[in-house]
């Protein structure tokens, strides 16, 4: 469980208390509401916040921009990520995983292509599935569904389901409300510089009446 | 080691694919070599051109590159996998040492073909200079502490300093008292205890401040969200 107590950062997040359980969690918020900043704090990219965050020691965080040359090949990207992650894995394991999520044809065709030859959605798909292959307790994604077509969204959902089935924690942000058909998810809302849990939202709604 | 290996291989692939930085650090000294060809009487005259290569690699390739990556917010995901700033920095330095070495091989080969210089001697001294100038790479890491300055501003200022230093390098001018290329090129000519002491103290300062800057290196951009 990730627990956040009295988190404040700059003028974007104020005195937020929230906890995320293992399973599927997502934070809904309008554009510019501070979702990315919150994930930066949670993943340890931003240190100089006030308050405490615990349970975030073993996570991977995929933000919207990645350092990678468009002129390099897809295989260079995979090699880089696997090497950076201490190479507990072999390529055979990686390919077996890719096959299990139905992306073997995609990866076979793209393997020797330059990353620039992939469409924006394909690049996002490649980065997303490779990050999900790595073994972590928590997976944190910033707007993973943005700019992805319906087929791509279905694939990402399938991968998220697998992570949840493996007792992993998933936390992502979205500026759209998302319904999952086969999975329980907990939606949080980020507004007015604070994150509200579902119960708090209901309570707020009742108190508004 | 895996972190250094991963970034080093990635950076080298990027360097070899995107040839402009390599061309920049090689073509410029070669052009200046031919412009000043009449002065090239022996191998050690090449030290000015070696200094140009090292400045281009260590300042533009290490410090400014770290600023660029921070500004674009491109390192967040990888730093969430492994947050070691020092290993990332070492891989940048190793990449630029390799880049400088490749540039030296090309420059020294051309110099040996057209001028009275020894290729072997030139390679020995230029490689030595790559190592002796390493504190400059640490010094360049201090650029990352200039949080309020954008990459564009910093790279423009450094490019102006670089070109002024370059054009005044080979003739007598007061500005050479503060010319970083002159100091870089003179490292190989240190003599006497005093000069060695200045080098050691200067290097220690560069390394200490550089390590401090790296420990405080933030990968979240303050220039864009």
Which of B46, B45, B40 is CA-nearest to residue B116?
Answer: B40
Where residue A17 sits, what CATH number does that domain have?
Answer: 3.40.50.300
Residues 160-219 of chain B with CB under 8 A from chain A are 218-219
Residues A141 and A52 in one domain: yes
Residues A159 and A207 in one domain: yes
Assign A76 a pLDDT band (cuts: 50, 70, 90): very high
Residues A90 and A128 in one domain: yes
Residues 60-79 of chain B with CB under 8 A from chain A are 69, 72-79
Rounded mean pLDDT, A48-76: 87
Task: Kindly compute the dihedral angle of the four CA atoms of residues B218, B219, B224, B225, in this order, to the nearest 10 degrees.
Answer: -110
Task: Kindly compute the dihedral angle of the four CA atoms of residues A64, A69, A72, A73, in this order, to the nearest 10 degrees.
Answer: 0
Residues A6 and A34 in one domain: yes
Of A135, A166, A187, which residue sits at a domain end? A135
Coil, helix or strand at residue A4: strand
Q: Check whether A162 has a pLDDT greater than 80.
A: yes
Tens digit of pLDDT for each residue in A112-142? 999 889 888 888 888 899 999 999 999 999 9
Residue position matching structure tokens 């319904």: A179
Residues A87 and A24 in one domain: no
pLDDT at A205: 41
pLDDT at B5: 92
Q: Check whether B102 has a pLDDT greater than 70.
A: yes
Interface probe, candidates B71, B73, B80, B91, chain A, greatest A C-beta count within 10 A: B80
Order of strands across the sheet with A50-54? A13-20, A2-9, A50-54
Residues A129 and A148 in one domain: no
Beta carbons of B18 and A71 less than 8 Å apart: yes
**Chain B residue whose CA is closest to A36:** B225
Residues A52 and A81 in one domain: no
Compute the nearest-CA separation of B31 from chain A (Å). Answer: 28
Q: Check whether B177 has a pLDDT greater than 90.
A: no
pLDDT at B223: 58
Contacts of A13 in chain B (CB under 8 A): none
Contacts of A45 in chain B (CB under 8 A): 76, 79-80, 219-220
Q: Check whether A209 has a pLDDT greater than 70.
A: no
pLDDT at B222: 62
Residue A63 lies in a domain: no
Residues A142 and A198 in one domain: yes
Residue A204 lies in a domain: yes
What does the mean pLDDT of chain A come to? Answer: 85
Assign B193 a pLDDT band (cuts: 50, 70, 90): very high
Compute the nearest-CA separation of B69 from chain A (Å). Answer: 8
> What is the number of domains present in chain A?
2
Specify the range with the lowest mean pLDDT, choosing from A40-44, A82-86, A199-203, B4-8.
Answer: A199-203
Which range has highest mean pLDDT (A35-44, A190-199, B202-211, B215-224)? Answer: B202-211
Give the HSE-up count for residue A112: Cα atoms under 13 Å, Cβ half-sphere: 0
Residue A185 lies in a domain: yes
Q: Check whether B72 has a pLDDT greater than 80.
A: no
CB within 8 Å of A143: residues ≥ 6 apart: A35, A36, A64, A172, A173, A174, A175
Residues A208 and A141 in one domain: yes
Of A135, A157, A192, which residue sits at a domain end? A135
Q: Check whether B46 has a pLDDT greater than 50.
A: yes
Assign B171 a pLDDT band (cuts: 50, 70, 90): confident
Assign B103 a pLDDT band (cuts: 50, 70, 90): very high
Residue A64 lies in a domain: no
Beta carbons of B3 and A63 less than 8 Å apart: no
Cβ–Cβ under 8 Å, residues B105 and B53: no
- Rg over alpha carbons for chain A, rounded to the nearest Å, is 18
Owning domain of residue A7: 1-58+137-209
Which of B131, B161, B152 is CA-nearest to residue B72?
Answer: B152
**Chain B residue whose CA is closest to A88:** B2
Rounded mean pLDDT, A22-28: 91
Which of B94, B29, B35, B91 is CA-nearest to residue B56?
Answer: B29
Please state the ipTM of this predicted complex.
Answer: 0.82
Residue A209 lies in a domain: yes
Compute the nearest-CA separation of B223 from chain A (Å). Answer: 13
More confidently predicted of B123 and A92 = B123
Residues A202 and A181 in one domain: yes
Residues A22 and A122 in one domain: no
pLDDT at A32: 83
Interface probe, candidates A47, A76, A84, chain B, greatest B C-beta count within 10 A: A84
Tally of helices (H runs) and strands (E runs) in chain B: 11, 0
What does the mean pLDDT of chain B come to? Answer: 89
**Chain B residue whose CA is closest to A34:** B225
Measured between alpha carbons, how far is B33 from B46 in angstroms, rounded to an integer? 8
Of A135, A162, A182, which residue sits at a domain end? A135
Interface probe, candidates A39, A67, A86, chain B, greatest B C-beta count within 10 A: A67
Which range has highest mean pLDDT (A21-30, A189-198, A199-208)? Answer: A21-30
Assign B37 a pLDDT band (cuts: 50, 70, 90): confident
Contacts of B72 in chain A (CB under 8 A): 65, 67
Beta carbons of B225 and A83 less than 8 Å apart: no
Nearest by CB: B2 against A37, A44, A83: A83
What proportion of chain B, given as a percentage, has pLDDT over 90?
Answer: 55
More confidently predicted of B179 and B123 = B123
Q: What is the pTM of this model?
A: 0.86
Residues A99 and A150 in one domain: no
Interface probe, candidates B77, B85, B147, B215, chain A, greatest A C-beta count within 10 A: B77
């Amino acid at each position: 469980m990730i627990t956040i107590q009295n988190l404040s950062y700059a003028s974007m997040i104020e005195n937020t208390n929230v906890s995320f359980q293992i399973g599927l969690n997502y934070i809904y918020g309008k554009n510019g509401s501070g979702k990315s900043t919150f994930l930066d704090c949670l993943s340890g990219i931003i240190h100089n916040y006030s308050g405490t965050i615990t349970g975030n020691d073993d996570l991977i965080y995929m933000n919207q921009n990645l350092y990678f040359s468009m002129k390099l090949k897809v295989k260079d990207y995979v090699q880089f990520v696997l090497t950076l992650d201490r190479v507990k894995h072999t390529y055979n394991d990686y390919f077996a995983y890719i096959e299990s999520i139905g992306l073997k044809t995609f990866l076979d065709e793209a393997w020797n292509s330059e990353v620039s030859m992939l469409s924006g959605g394909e690049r996002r798909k490649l980065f997303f599935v490779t990050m999900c292959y790595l073994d972590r307790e928590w997976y944190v994604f910033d707007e993973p569904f943005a700019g992805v077509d319906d087929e791509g969204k279905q694939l990402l959902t399938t991968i998220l389901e697998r992570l949840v089935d493996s007792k992993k924690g998933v936390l992502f942000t979205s500026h759209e409300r998302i319904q999952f058909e086969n999975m329980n998810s907990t939606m949080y809302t980020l507004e007015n510089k604070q994150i509200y849990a579902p119960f708090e939202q209901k309570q707020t709604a009742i108190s508004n009446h | 080691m895996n972190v250094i290996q991963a970034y080093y291989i990635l950076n080298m692939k990027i360097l070899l694919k995107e040839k402009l930085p390599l061309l920049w650090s090689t073509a410029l000294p070669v052009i200046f070599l031919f412009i000043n060809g009449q002065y090239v009487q022996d191998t050690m005259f090449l030290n000015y051109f070696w200094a140009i290569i090292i400045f281009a690699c260590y300042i533009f390739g290490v410090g400014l590159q770290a600023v660029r990556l921070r500004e674009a917010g491109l390192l967040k995901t990888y730093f969430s996998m492994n947050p070691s700033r020092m290993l990332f920095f070492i891989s940048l330095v190793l990449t630029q040492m390799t880049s400088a070495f490749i540039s030296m091989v090309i420059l020294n080969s051309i110099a040996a073909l057209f001028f009275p210089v020894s290729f072997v001697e030139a390679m020995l001294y230029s490689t030595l200079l790559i190592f002796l100038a390493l504190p400059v790479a640490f010094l360049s890491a201090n650029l990352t502490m200039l949080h309020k300055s954008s990459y564009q501003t910093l790279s423009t200022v450094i490019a102006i300093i670089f070109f002024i230093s370059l054009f005044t390098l080979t003739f007598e001018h007061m500005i050479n008292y503060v010319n970083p290329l002159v100091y870089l090129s003179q490292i190989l000519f240190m003599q006497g205890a005093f000069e060695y002491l200045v080098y050691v103290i200067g290097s220690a300062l560069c390394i200490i401040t550089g390590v401090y800057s790296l420990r405080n290196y933030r990968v979240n951009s303050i220039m864009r969200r």
